[in-house]
Amino acid sequence: MKHILSQIFHTGKFTMGFCIFMGILLLMVFYPLINPGDPLKIVSIGTFARPGTYISLYDAVDSRLNTLKLDEAPANRLESVLKMEDRVKMVMWFEAVEIPIGHLNIHDTEALLALWEEHYDSTVRPEGMTKADRNYFQRLDESLNRVLVTKEKILATRDASTAELQEIRAIEDTDYVNLKNVANVKRLPLGTDNFGRDVLKELVAAIRTSLVIGLIAGTIATLIGLTLGLISGFIGGIVDDIIMFVTNIFTVIPAFVLLILISYSIGQDQRGPTTVAVVIGMTAWVWTARAVRSQVISLRNRDHVNLSKLSGHNLFLIIVTDILPYIASYVVMALILQISGAILAEAQLSMLGLGPKTTEVPTLGLMMNWSMLYTAHLNGYWWAYFPVLLTIALISFSLNLMNTGLDQVFNPTLRD
């Protein structure tokens, strides 16, 4: 046993797959400890908040202020207002009103701004420019003015009775607050999804559900496949014929179609993650049954099996002691493949709207489905779907890698 383990970990593929998978498991176990709470809680109003650190503005203005004199501050401010696309648009405006720009370098902020200051006029209506575009330029001009002229900002409260504004504090462009002094800071490393849920938290919960689905479905499929394969291979004869007949039929009829039909028939309300897992497991056993059967057939006439038969051992005992140990490695590999297959199957079912019902638990497939329904991919909200895709791929990849590693150890013909 120790020898086999050392051999398995000797293959780079298995070790790499094992490390990736352990990493995912660790994330799944420890992240909820750091960030506890309901993964489906809606934390942001509005959809798809960008990933990042959110500071409560309300708390920030009440925090202790420090004055920092930073030379780069104005430039940074300008940079945040004047993006590359704005610069391109500005040049377009110049062209629209036929102002010669000469050898203007679009990255030369000073020259660009000087030209803009000199020529921009909100009353000019260049031909062919829509109102939306004119409004855009107006807004750009205003925000540029705001940034360029650093005036202090006044913070005030409204008197409840007189409705007059009372100044509390003036905020200078050199005022800073220490992040530690702000009462409420929220980190959303992967932003929020279409419902305004914390994507990372949801993703971690989804990994758990999907792995459970994989495990249940994989176990069911492997058990059915193993049982049928053992019976069919060991007993042979008419039993074998019948089992193989059924197996062959379900080899060609796509499991995918059966999954759809069964899931649809079960109905949305009845479909919890466990039900979905069971259905997936019930449609995925075919491969395992075939593989186990052919292994058993190659074993059934070995000497030690014949000896057991002659000694009058019963069928169950022979299978458990003389057959199972020899195909154990094979069954483990089949189980691993089944788990990764089931996780993919859940994802595909969910993409078709036939996944587990959506209100209780997140799964990787459901997260993917929602982000697609809300066209996250068309609008550049990468954090809503890309981490999910990557997670599915990594889970499946790590399982496949481990399987390949095992295959190399137990199947000598594939050795390098």
User: Interface with another protein by CB under 8 A: which residues?
Assistant: 248-249, 251-258, 260-262, 264-267, 340, 344, 347-348, 351-354, 368, 372, 377-378, 380, 382, 385, 389, 392-394, 396-397, 400-401, 404, 413-416
Beta carbon of residue 71, minimum distance to another protein (angstroms, whole number): 35
Beta carbon of residue 268, minimum distance to another protein (angstroms, whole number): 9
Rg (CA), the chain: 32
Beta carbon of residue 98, minimum distance to another protein (angstroms, whole number): 28
Nearer of residues 37 and 254 to another protein, judged by Cβ: 254
Nearer of residues 112 and 214 to another protein, judged by Cβ: 214
Distance CA 114, CA 191 (A): 38
Contact 57, 206 (CB under 8 A): no
Beta carbon of residue 17, minimum distance to another protein (angstroms, whole number): 9
Beta carbon of residue 347, minimum distance to another protein (angstroms, whole number): 5
Nearer of residues 60 and 394 to another protein, judged by Cβ: 394
Distance CA 79, CA 107 (A): 11
Beta carbon of residue 174, minimum distance to another protein (angstroms, whole number): 39
Distance CA 113, CA 373 (A): 42
Nearer of residues 222 and 340 to another protein, judged by Cβ: 340
